Structures are given as C-alpha cells and as structure tokens.
C-alpha cells in the first residue's frame, strides 16, 4: 500500500508568514509523529498523536508551532510568524500505535526555507 506522504515537498516562505505542513499517514496507523531535521543534525522530536490526541506538546519549540490531527488520519503542522531558524526538513512518521514496539515509517519530508 501507499507509504507516508507529506506535502508540500518544498516550501519557501518569507519571514513572518505562516506555513502549514501536511502529513498523510499509512492507512490504519493510529500513531503519528512529527520531527524536525536541521542540516547535518539528528531528528528533533516535536509532537506525537495517538489517534487525534496529542498527550504531550512540550517538544514543540515555541508557541508559534501547533499541530492537529483530525479523523485519526491526516495531520497538519502549522508554524506562525516563521523565523529563519525554522528552516529545516520537517519529517512525519506513522506506526500502528505508540505503546508497542511498532516500526515507524517516515514520510519524505517537507523542506522549509524561511528567507
């Protein structure tokens, strides 16, 4: 079946603008994760959803970041008033559920560039 998809694949925006990133998980996967990967760096955990619920939002870098998931499927990550330091690749991953040892499958990422 189809893997995790993300859109857009690339996004260039001006400082101060809002952006919305989208993730479509694998069908049937109840867990969904968002990560940020800066150039040459590891993956920074942002937030995860089990179903539509995000138990812990403390990984979000600032209050400009928010995420939601509706219908237990598609998730959007919104960054308001973007800053240059927000430039990175934003990766989404999904798995069957959070509490068991299920493999996370990653999407191709959205490369965000803030000018």
Partner 1 sequence: GENVEQHPSTLSVQEGDSAVIKCTYSDSASNYFPWYKQELGKRPQLIIDIRSNVGEKKDQRIAVTLNKTAKHFSLHITETQPEDSAVYFCAARSAGNQFYFGTGTSLTVIP
**Residue 87 found at the interface with partner 1 (CB under 8 A):** no
Beta strand segments in 25-107, E: 31-37, 43-50, 65-69, 75-79, 88-95, 105-106
Tokens of 65: 């970041």
* Least distance CB 81 / partner 1 (angstroms): 26
* Least distance CB 14 / partner 1 (angstroms): 26
CA–CA distance, 23 with 39 (Å, rounded to integer)? 21
**Residue 98 found at the interface with partner 1 (CB under 8 A):** yes
Residue closer to partner 1, measured from CB, 20 or 44:
44
CA–CA distance, 99 with 96 (Å, rounded to integer)? 9
Closest CA to 55 of 86, 31, 23: 31
* Contact residue for partner 1 among 26, 35, 69, 77 (CB under 8 A): 35
Which residues lie near partner 1 (CB under 8 A)?
Answer: 33, 35, 40-45, 48, 50, 55-56, 58-59, 91, 98-99, 101, 103-104, 106-109
């Amino acid at each position: 079946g189809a893997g995790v998809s993300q859109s857009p694949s690339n996004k260039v925006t001006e400082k101060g603008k809002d952006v919305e990133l989208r993730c479509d998980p694998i069908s049937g996967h109840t867990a969904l994760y968002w990560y940020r990967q800066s150039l040459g760096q590891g993956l920074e955990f942002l937030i995860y959803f089990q179903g539509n619920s995000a138990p812990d939002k403390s990984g979000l870098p600032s209050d400009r970041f928010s995420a939601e998931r509706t219908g237990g499927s598609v998730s959007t990550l919104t960054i308001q008033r973007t800053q240059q330091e927000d430039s990175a690749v934003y990766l989404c991953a999904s798995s069957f559920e959070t509490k068991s040892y299920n493999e996370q499958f990653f999407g191709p990422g959205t490369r965000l560039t803030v000018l």
